[in-house]
Amino acid sequence: MNGHHLPHLTHEPGPPRLDDLAAISPLQTTYNPNAYQTPYPDSTASSAPSEDPVVLDADEDKRKRNQAASARFRQKKKQREQQMLEQSREMQDRTKRLEGEVETLKRENTFLKKLLVEKVDNMSDEDKVMLAKTTKAINGK
C-alpha cells in the first residue's frame, strides 16, 4: 500500500474503507450529514402521514375529488354499457325483421317463377316469339 501502514485496519482484506483512509489523510475532516440538504426539506420518502392540518385537509379534499371522479366515471361507463345493450337489441330486432323480409321475397320470387313457367307453357307460338323478342331487346340494351 505505497509504504503506508494502517495500524487500525480490522476488516477483511479488500479495498480500504473510508474510515481506514482517514488515518493517513493529511486533512482530518469529519462528515457532517447536514452539510448536504435537499432543496425540498419537507419531501421525504417515508410513508408516515403528515401531522400538518393543511396537508391533511388537502389530502382529504384530494381523496373526495378522486372518489367523486371515480363515481362519475362508473356512472358514465354504466350508461355507455346500457346504450350499447339497447343498440344491440335494436340491431338484433332489425336483423330478424330483414331476415323475415328476405324469406318472404324468396317465396314470392319462387311463386312468380312458377307462374311464369306455367304461363309460357300455355302461350301461343305468336306470344312466345313476341316474348323472346322483348327479352332479347331488354338483355341487348
For 85-106, give one letter per residue: b (16+ CB within 10 A) or e. eeeeeeeeeeeeeeeeeeeeee
Fill in the DSSP letter of residue 116: H
> Among 27-31, 90-94, 97-101, 126-130, whose mean pLDDT is lowest?
27-31
pTM, two decimals, is 0.44
**pLDDT per position as a tens digit, 76-91:** 999 999 999 999 999 9
Rounded Cα distance, 71 and 64, in Å: 10
pLDDT recorded at residue 121: 87
Predicted confidence band of residue 55 (pLDDT cuts 50, 70, 90): confident
Domains of the chain, by residue range, sit at 53-132
So what's the pLDDT on residue 140? Answer: 80
pLDDT for res 29 = 57
Cβ count near 41 (within 10 Å): 7
